[in-house]
């Protein structure tokens, strides 16, 4: 486009996930621990071994659809010479101040141990049957009065740091006359929640604007992150992403596992950028931080967490929901959205130049 000549050399994209995933399938490797046991050198050798499996077929097919390109003077991304050229290019970008370290919530495949692009994450949605539970969070100032929140991901509850409400909604305090329990929820959600929680007879005790709840403290579900009380965690925060068309009008926030949760908790000063707790490993299993469930895959922990909450009197209702959920298009396993602190390139800074 700028008048320079570029040689038409064929390039073999040898690195990364496609090859690794094939090796994992061939040798029945199921976790990061197993890869580390094999060792980087041997794992790479196995990957290199299969890279050129279909090289002759590529020559034939590329010729058939009329692409004129030099196969004999090709390059492979697994060659050190190529990798060094990439590092050289990256250094030029870095020296221009276009590389920065940032934190984002990104789709992650626990089967492939990697972040996926939003395009990949959106390419394989499935209808799944997930838990749908309502949990209570007693107010610190009056433990007999409980905020209630709805979630389809019980495994995120050990990482809860806040409850979000919509300051523009009207909220109600109701008494379940049969169980003698007092709950706080959004008024527009009252009718549906009475049905979901099987509350047969109730009394509305009080109505108040959502804004009046901001700053109220509640009793944490678990003790794993109790030390974060010093940052004012386990309080009610205001957030406009809270809607009146689902749930209770009160959203449980685990900032390590949701974009809205993360941004709201950073904005409220409960966490710093890049400091959201993510107590799971690359295989989606709980780490030592969540000691009671250490080594358990997050989705396998759902029922155990529900049973514990029930035993501790924190479970208001338990059901299931069929909804559309993203899956990894390679492994057909559920994706999770989790916080990553990593390197990015400021493409926005050179947008006009690119255009």
Q: Are residues 24 and 149 in the same domain?
A: no
In this structure, the answer to whether residues 148 and 243 fall within a common structural domain is: yes
Q: Is residue 324 assigned to a domain? A: no
Closest CA to 237 of 155, 147, 106, 172: 147
Range 66-72 average pLDDT? 91
- Convert 182-207 to b/e letters by CB count within 10 Å (16 or more is b): bbbbbbbbbebbbebbebeebeeeee
Q: Can you tell me whether residue 243 is helix, strand or coil?
A: coil
Poorest-pLDDT segment among 8-17, 22-31, 279-288: 8-17
Domain co-membership, 303 together with 238: yes
Q: Domains in the chain: how many in total?
A: 2
| CA–CA dist 281, 330 (Å, integer) | 20
Share of the chain above pLDDT 70, in %: 100
Q: Give pTM, 2 decimals.
A: 0.82
- pLDDT computed for residue 7 by the predictor: 85
Asked if residue 16 has pLDDT above 80, the reply is no
Residues 12/57, Cβ–Cβ less than 8 Å: no
**Interval 186-243: pLDDT, tens:** 999 999 998 888 888 999 999 999 999 999 999 999 999 999 998 999 999 999 899 8
Q: State whether 177 and 308 are in the same domain.
A: yes
pLDDT classification of 31: cutoffs 50, 70, 90: confident
Please name the helix (run of DSSP H) or strand (run of DSSP E) that holds residue 341, with its range, or none: strand 335-345
**In which band, very low, low, confident or very high, does the pLDDT at 354 lie, cut at 50, 70 and 90?**
confident
- Are 195 and 297 contained in the same domain? yes
Q: Has residue 15 got a pLDDT over 80? A: no
Pair 146, 18 in one domain: no
pLDDT of 30: 82
What secondary structure, in 3-state letters, does 67-136 show?
CCCEEEEEEECCCHHHHHHHHHHHHHHHHCCCEEEEEEEEEEECCCCEECCHHHHCCCEEEEEEEEEEEE
Shared domain for 227 and 308, answered yes or no, is yes
Q: What is the pLDDT of residue 271?
A: 92
In a domain, 344, yes or no: no
Instruction: Give the residue numbers spanning the domain of 210.
Output: 134-267+289-316
Q: Please give the average per-residue pLDDT across 299-303, as a whole number.
A: 94
Residue 156 lies in a domain: yes
Whether 308 maps to a domain, the answer reads yes
What Å distances lie between residue 326 and 122, 304, 331, CA to CA?
7, 23, 12
Q: What is the pLDDT of residue 51?
A: 84
Examine residue 272 and state whether it is found in any structural domain, yes or no.
Answer: no
Residue 331 banded pLDDT, cuts 50, 70, 90: confident
Which of 91, 93, 83, 85 lies closest to 347, judged by CA? 93
pLDDT digits (tens, 9 = 90+) for 127-177: 999 999 999 999 999 999 999 999 999 999 999 999 999 999 999 999 998
Q: Are residues 241 and 312 in the same domain?
A: yes
């Amino acid at each position: 486009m700028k008048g320079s000549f570029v040689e038409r050399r064929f390039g073999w994209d040898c690195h990364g996930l496609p090859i690794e995933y094939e090796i994992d399938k061939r040798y029945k490797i199921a976790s990061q621990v197993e890869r580390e046991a094999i060792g980087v050198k041997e794992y790479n050798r196995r990957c290199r071994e299969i890279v050129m499996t279909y090289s002759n077929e590529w020559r034939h097919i590329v010729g058939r659809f009329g692409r004129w390109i030099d196969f004999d003077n090709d390059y492979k991304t697994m060659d050190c010479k190529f990798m060094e050229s990439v590092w050289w290019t990256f250094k030029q970008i870095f020296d221009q101040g276009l590389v920065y370290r940032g934190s984002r919530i990104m789709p992650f495949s626990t089967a492939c141990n990697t972040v996926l692009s939003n395009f990949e994450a959106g390419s394989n949605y499935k209808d799944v049957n997930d838990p749908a539970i309502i949990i209570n969070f007693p107010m610190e100032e009056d433990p007999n009065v409980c905020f209630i929140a709805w979630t389809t991901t019980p495994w995120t509850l050990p990482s809860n740091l806040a409850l979000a409400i919509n300051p523009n909604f009207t909220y109600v305090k109701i008494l379940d006359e049969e169980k003698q329990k007092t709950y706080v929820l959004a008024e527009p959600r009252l009718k549906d929640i009475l049905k979901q929680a099987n509350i047969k007879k109730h009394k509305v005790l009080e109505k108040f604007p959502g804004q009046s709840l901001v700053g109220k403290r509640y009793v944490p579900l678990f003790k794993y992150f109790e030390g974060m009380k010093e940052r004012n965690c386990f309080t009610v925060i205001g957030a406009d992403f809270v809607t009146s068309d689902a749930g209770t009008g009160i959203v449980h926030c685990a900032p390590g596992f949701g974009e809205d949760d993360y941004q709201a908790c950073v904005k409220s000063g409960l966490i710093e950028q890049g400091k959201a707790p993510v107590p799971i490993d690359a295989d989606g299993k709980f780490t030592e931080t969540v000691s009671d469930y250490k080594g358990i895959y997050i989705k396998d922990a759902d029922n155990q967490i529900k049973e514990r909450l029930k035993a501790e009197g924190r479970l208001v209702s338990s059901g299931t929901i069929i909804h559309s959920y993203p899956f990894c298009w390679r492994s057909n396993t559920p994706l999770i959205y989790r916080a990553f602190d990593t390197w990015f390139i400021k493409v926005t800074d050179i947008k006009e130049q690119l255009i």
